[in-house]
Chain A
Amino acid sequence: MSDVQPALGGAEFDGAGARVVEMPPKGMITLRGSPDEIGAAVADATGCAVPGQREITFEGEFALGWMSPDEFLLMCPRDEVGTCLKSLGETLAGSHHLAVDVSDARAVFSIAGPGAREVLARLCPVDLASTAFGPGEIRRSRIAQVPAAFWIDANDDIKLICFRSVARYAFDVLCGAAKGEPVGVLR
């Protein structure tokens, strides 16, 4: 198997407001099914609690994001995708579900620094005040003209995912937004 290449080869940018980095590829599995039917198995496979509406839960290298009432995004180390899919396939054999590897379908960015929230606030129609959006929540929206989802990780950095084909566009608009000085509204 060849080395897996992130869309932009791990691009980085240091702006006055925040640092934007394309993260190494992550293992990702899209799971569709009713939480009642598949929740327990998914929690079992990841060690993560079953996330409620708009929640993201973490356990070690694993994370489980609520994408819609019948869709989870499972994140795991890249080399565990196969194992995960296999074990899910077995435990969910009788349940109506869909589990597919989407590890290559997306780009992952980290937006770190005191201005990180304001970087996104320049691009997303989302209330990014800490009182409105905090750790443990995953938000699907758009950045500028493309769909994206983001959450706050353990280091207080923002992690953002978008489709791989628009990684360059997403990186460029994030860098543009990270260039400027803080607006001074969101902390």
Chain B
Amino acid sequence: MLILTCPYCGIHCDETELANGGEAHLKREGPGSSDDAFEAYLFDRDNPMGVHFERWRHANGCGKWFLAARDTVTMEVFGTYKAQSIEPPAEIVERIRAKRPDWEGRA
């Protein structure tokens, strides 16, 4: 039972207030994209044992989507940040690198 802090309303949300939305930072492929690129956009997902970036919605709350960087094994949360982010914030990446020196970065 996770607790994630919603960066919009500041609440330390119980997992039962949240809805998971899968992997974060996917780049949308639209008309004109190659079959391979589009297939990857639809179906290729990371499923790491370790550092992972996810989408969460504060569904029973302010209704905002936010992103979380989390270790899927230890459940350590490296940070949450706003959905309007193309990349994870530098400070969160630094925190991950400090705690997980072996982390190879986002695929």
Contacts and interface: CB of A to CB of B under 8 A. Distances in A.
Direct contact of A and B (CB under 8 A): yes
A67 interface: yes
A147 B9 contact: no
A159 B64 CA distance: 23
Nearest to A143: B60
Nearest to B8: A69
Contact of A140 (B14, B16, B62): B62
Q: Is the interface of A mostly helix, strand, loop or mixed?
A: strand
Contact of B17 (A67, A69, A141): A141
A54 interface: yes
A117 to B, nearest CB: 17
Contact of B60 (A53, A54, A69, A147): A147
Contacts of A141: 17, 60-61
Contacts of B60: 140-142, 147
Interface string B1-14: 00000001111001
Nearest to B16: A125
Contacts, number: 34
Describe B's contact surface by its main secondary structure.
Answer: loop
Interface residues of A, number: 13
Interface residues of B, number: 13
Interface in A55-92: 67-69, 71
A67 B61 CA distance: 8
A125 B8 contact: no
B16 A142 contact: yes
A141 B14 CA distance: 10
Contacts of A125: 14, 16-17
Given A125-B16, A141-B17, A141-B60, A68 B10 contact: no
Nearest to A146: B60
Contacts of A142: 16-17, 60
Interface string B60-76: 11111000000000000
Query: Which 10 A/B pairs are nearest by Cβ-Cβ distance?
Result: A125-B14, A68-B62, A142-B60, A140-B61, A147-B60, A69-B8, A125-B16, A141-B60, A53-B10, A68-B63
A69 B84 CA distance: 13
A54 B17 contact: no
A98 B60 CA distance: 22
